[in-house]
Structure formats: C-alpha cells, structure tokens
C-alpha cells in the first residue's frame, strides 16, 4: 500500500528525472571516454618513434636534430625540453606561488569586504584571459624590458617564469582561498583570545591548519604551468640547448611540440607525440600527488 | 515537473537549432561552384617544401571537382622524381632541379613558384653586407659577435626557422653547406615570427622569404648581391630555388586540369604568394 503510494507519487517525476539522470550519465561517460581516447591515441602515435629510433635516442639524449627527408635517422632527444619545462615551471611557482597565496591570505583574513570583492573580480578576469594574450604581452612588453634590464636577448627561462607566475595566480589563489576559509573560526578566536596578534594568528594558526589545502593549490598551479603552451612558446626562444642561466634561451616540451608539429612526418612527428606522452604522465603524477596529500588530510581529520 | 519538461523542450529546441546551423553550414561549403563532371585520380609525391601548397591545392581542387580524388604525399624531392619515373605517381614535386641522370626521361617541368631567402638583421645593426663564410660562421655558431664581421662589439642573436620548414632546409643546404645551425639559435615556426623576433630583438639576425621583407628589418646583401626576384632569376643570388611539379610528358586529362589550377592566377595569388614569388610573376 505505502509502496504503491510512493510509486504513484514518484511516477510522474520519473520520466523527466530519468531522462536528466541518463543524459548527465552519458555526458560524464563522454568525458571519461575522451580521456581514455586521448591517452590511447597519444600512446599509439608514440610507438613508431620508439621503435624506429629507440628509447635511448629519445630519453637519454639532449640532441634534437630531426631529419626531415628521412625521419627515422634523426635525433630526437627530449632532455633539453624536459629540463626547460621543469625550470620554467619551478620559476613560475617561485614567482606566482607566494603572490597567489599572499592574495588568498589577504582576501580571507585582512581585506575589507569591498576591497576583497574587487580583488576577486580582478582574479576572475585574469583567469579568463586567453594564454596567447599573455604570450603576446610577454613578447612585446616583457621580453624587451628584460632585454634592457639584463642586457641580454630577453627571451628565456626568466621571461617564461614571469608569464607562468602570473598565469597560475587564479588557480592557486582560488584553491588556497577555499582552503583558508575552511579553517574553523574557533581557531582564530582562540588565538586572538590568547593575545596573539593578527600576523601571529595567520602565521602560527591559520597557515599550519590549512597546510594541505595550500599544498594542493600549489600542485595544481604546477600542473597549470607544465601544460601551458602558447604563452611560453612565444617567450622561451625554442632553442635546442640546456638553460644555463635565467636568461638563456631554451625550449619546453610544449614549445617544442608546437614549433615543430606543422610539417613533421614519420618518426619526427611520432617523437613529438612521445613528448606529449611525457606531459600526460607528468599530469598524472600531479593528480597522484594531490590524492596523496588530500588522503593524509582525511586520515588526520 | 512542469519546469523539468520545459527544460527538456528547451534543450531539444537548442539541439535542433544547432543541428540546423551545422547542416546549413555543411551545405554552404559543398555548393561553391562545384563541377560534378570531372572524375578521376591525381597522385603527387615528393618535396616536403612543395607539400603545403600542393595539399592546399588538392583540397581546393576537390571542393570544385568532387568527383576527383587528389592524393599528396611527402618523402622528399628525390622520392617524388623516382616515383614519377616509375609511374607510381602522376606528378613529382621537387624543390631542386633535375640531376643529370634524371634527365632524358621526358619529364615536363612546371615551375609553380620561386623561393628567395633574404638574410635580415635588426635595423640597429651597422653591417649591411655579409660574405657566404660570414653567414655560415654566424648561423653555425662559430662567429658570435658582430665585431667579427665588421660591426659593433655586441653578441649576435641568431634566429632560425623550425627544422621541418622548407625555408630552413634550403638555407641549411645552400648557405650552411648542409651543416646544422647553432643550438643556441631562437627557433620560430613562421616567416612572420622570425621577422617580428629579428625586428624586436637587439643584435638579432635571421632569414625570411623575400615576400615577407618589409621596413621593420634590415635586408643584408649576400656576397654583395641584393636578394631580389631579378638577381635570383639572373642566377647571381644563390639563396633561391624554383619549386617544381614534374610530369611525364604533357599532362593528360584530369592531371592537366589540376596543373592548370595550381598555375591559375587565383591559386597563385591566394596561396603561393603567401610565402613565395608566384609563377604568374616570373
């Protein structure tokens, strides 16, 4: 009786709800399928290079010298762009990390509501700017400026780090802000109650208890920086040498791919897919790192 | 519940609208002066330099003549010429002249473009003429200061094209005697970006196709010869080459129509002139 009543009530809702639920399920599955297809495709396209020129030619070599007319005899070492990616990402985090986390602290602990709102709008705007715009500004404003200040060509790791530092701010600030907001108000009150100043409270109470969340914010920022392509490609110089100083030109995995992909064929093209695969693996490692960090938090809680 | 239904209806309408737009766009594409009467196949292979304009020609040609199948493959000039002589392809694409052993096979040469490369420097540089050895020294990394070539005491910033580009291929072959350029060189993947980089970077030197030369960069003489259409045609300027499509004898049927299309005013001006001196101006 009651069950039938429930069914009678539920039935009219069932149709539309069923459709919505199934539609959303299909959408979700499409995303998963997309990711699987991307991994499968990139891996498959990487195989010819690994077969034709060998693992050591790619993973243990710093020589990038493709042979266009006979791709299988070229040199496709990825150590230079790998080093470039790591250096530019590290530089981006060093410049952007403190800025972004500082902004998040300001927003959650210090800013009066109206100022805070203004800053949040600004950061939202920053997140919406296409990366090629950052690259273009980097190319016509930042690079000439760095060239004057450092008395070099201006291209290189430093220019890329500045651009990446600014580009990761929205990601890191947003996540860090969420992490800081979850710190219970009682902690703060207790700290103030014991006579701590605002700075002491931030430094000794708020930051330590939001530590994991802040770490996740930084890791996501690293992920954002590693994959950035256009903005970096325009300012890094795409040279085939290791970065030996902050202002020396070099290349990153993404800039190498986008510079050479146009008319490459055979093992040359496939070697670029290997670099893409390396980027994918780096992205997966980052996700794994985040899971490790957050799992610890859950356990601690 | 009613709002749920409305939501679905709205979604369906949106989807329908989207499909209509896509469908109409598709129709619009295929209805551009298409000519159904011509049928057949055209196959090309050869130079990776000729490949981009040839691929563009193939796709435009197949839009106009849906009954024709044009296939374009790379492999290099030698591959194209060999496959043409073996009868494997209708057209051999080449970015070099025929070697002596390749002649006497009745190949007909269709010059589709003239490629001229000019060495350019930042406008602030005082040097305006470089010898072949100086150019080679600079781009291979042996000469690293402008004072080595008669300029001021300043480090040289070298800008080159990406490895897959035909411009780099020709420059490496003719100016650097097939040596590799320095690994410290900035790499850019288009003529436009090379020009922009050279124009905005102090002490920079690079090379671009003649068609991209403008006032933002300074064209340097090569062995005291100015790079131009005339000096290239007179063979006094060495950094130039013709891009060829070879056929075995007079092209027949649909192959002839395709060659005519490539040499047509419209295709030459729209596509070839973007990078090269079009055949219509030779």
Residue B227 has pLDDT above 70, yes or no: yes
| pTM score of the predicted model | 0.78
pLDDT category, A1, cuts 50, 70, 90?
very low
CATH number for the domain running over A80-262: 1.10.3720.10
Residues 6+ apart with CB under 8 A from A262: B162, B164, B165, B189
Residue B26 has pLDDT above 70, yes or no: no
Domain ranges of chain A: 80-262
Substitution target in A18, A232, A259 with the highest count of B β-carbons within 10 Å is A259
- pLDDT in the model for residue B27: 45
- pLDDT in the model for residue A3: 53
Contact B201/A153, CB-based, under 8 Å?
yes
pLDDT category, B33, cuts 50, 70, 90?
low
Q: Would you say A169 and A96 are in contact if contact means Cβ atoms under 8 Å apart?
A: yes
Separation of alpha carbons A23 and B43, rounded Å: 46
Q: pLDDT per residue over A24-62, tens digit each?
A: 999 999 999 999 999 999 999 999 999 999 899 999 999
- pLDDT in the model for residue B29: 42
- pLDDT in the model for residue A294: 84
> Per-residue pLDDT averaged across B3-10, rounded?
59
- pLDDT in the model for residue A297: 60
Rounded to the nearest integer, the mean pLDDT of chain B is 86
pLDDT category, A92, cuts 50, 70, 90?
very high
Q: Which of A17-21, A172-176, B99-103 has the lowest mean pLDDT?
A: B99-103
Higher pLDDT among residues B75 and A246, named by residue: A246
- pLDDT in the model for residue B13: 57
Shortest Cα–Cα distance, B55 to chain A (Å): 11
Rounded to the nearest integer, the mean pLDDT of chain A is 89
Enumerate the residues of chain B whose CB falls inside 8 A of the CB of residue A65. 163, 180
- Is the ipTM value over 0.85, yes or no? no
Shortest Cα–Cα distance, B148 to chain A (Å): 19
Q: Any CB–CB contact under 8 A between B165 and chain A?
A: yes
> Per-residue pLDDT averaged across A6-21, rounded?
69
Substitution target in A81, A239, A268, A270 with the highest count of B β-carbons within 10 Å is A239
């Amino acid at each position: 009786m009651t069950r039938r009543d429930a069914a009678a009530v539920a039935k009219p809702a069932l149709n539309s709800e069923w459709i919505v639920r199934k539609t959303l399920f299909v959408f979700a599955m499409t995303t998963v399928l997309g990711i699987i297809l991307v991994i499968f495709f990139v891996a498959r396209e990487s195989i010819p290079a690994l077969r034709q020129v060998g693992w050591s030619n790619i993973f243990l070599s710093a020589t990038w010298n493709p042979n266009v007319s006979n791709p299988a005899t070229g040199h496709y070492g990825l150590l230079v762009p790998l080093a470039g990616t790591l250096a530019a990402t590290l530089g981006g985090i060093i410049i952007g990390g403190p800025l972004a986390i500082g902004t998040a602290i300001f927003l959650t602990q210090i800013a009066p509501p109206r100022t805070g709102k203004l800053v949040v709008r600004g950061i939202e705007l920053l997140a919406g700017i296409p990366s090629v715009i950052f690259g273009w500004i980097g190319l016509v404003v930042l690079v000439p400026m760095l060239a004057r200040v450092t008395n070099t060509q201006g291209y290189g790791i430093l220019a890329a780090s500045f651009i990446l530092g600014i580009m990761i701010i929205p990601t890191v600030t947003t996540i860090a802000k969420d992490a800081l907001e979850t710190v219970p108000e009682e902690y703060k009150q207790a700290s103030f109650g014991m006579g701590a100043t605002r700075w002491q409270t931030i430094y000794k109470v708020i930051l330590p208890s939001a530590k994991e969340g802040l770490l996740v914010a930084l890791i996501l920022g690293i992920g954002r920086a590693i994959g950035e392509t256009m903005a970096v490609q325009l300012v890094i110089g795409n040279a085939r040498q290791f970065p030996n100083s902050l202002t020396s030109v070099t290349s990153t995995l993404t800039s190498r791919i986008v510079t050479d992909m146009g008319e490459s064929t055979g093992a040359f093209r496939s070697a670029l897919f290997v670099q893409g695969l390396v980027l994918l693996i780096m992205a997966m490692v980052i996700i794994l790192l985040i899971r490790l960090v957050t799992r610890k938090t859950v356990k601690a809680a | 519940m009613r709002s749920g239904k409305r939501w679905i209806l709205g979604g369906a309408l949106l989807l329908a609208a989207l499909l209509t737009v896509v469908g109409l766009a598709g129709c619009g594409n295929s209805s551009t002066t298409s000519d159904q009467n011509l049928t057949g196949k055209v196959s090309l292979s050869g130079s990776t330099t000729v490949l981009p304009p040839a691929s563009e020609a193939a796709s435009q040609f197949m839009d106009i003549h849906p009954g024709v199948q044009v296939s374009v493959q790379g492999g290099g000039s030698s591959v194209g010429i060999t496959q043409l002589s073996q009868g494997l392809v209708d057209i051999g694409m080449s970015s070099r002249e025929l070697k002596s052993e390749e002649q006497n096979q009745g190949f007909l040469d269709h010059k589709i473009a003239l490629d001229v490369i000019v060495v350019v420097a930042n406008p602030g540089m005082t040097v305006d003429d470089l010898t072949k050895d100086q150019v080679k020294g600079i781009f291979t990394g042996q000469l690293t200061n402008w004072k080595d070539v008669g300029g001021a005491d300043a480090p040289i910033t070298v800008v080159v094209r990406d490895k897959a580009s035909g411009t780099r291929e020709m420059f490496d072959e003719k100016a650097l005697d097939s040596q590799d350029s320095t690994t410290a060189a900035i790499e850019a993947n288009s003529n436009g970006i090379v020009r922009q980089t050279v124009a905005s970077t102090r002490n920079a030197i690079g090379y671009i196709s003649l068609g991209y030369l403008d006032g933002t960069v300074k064209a340097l003489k090569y062995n005291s010869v100015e790079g131009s259409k005339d000096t290239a045609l007179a063979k006094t300027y060495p950094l130039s080459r013709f891009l060829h499509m070879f056929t075995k004898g007079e092209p027949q049927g649909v192959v002839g129509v395709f060659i005519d299309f490539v040499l047509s005013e419209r295709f030459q001006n729209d596509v070839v002139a973007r990078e090269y001196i079009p055949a219509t101006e030779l």
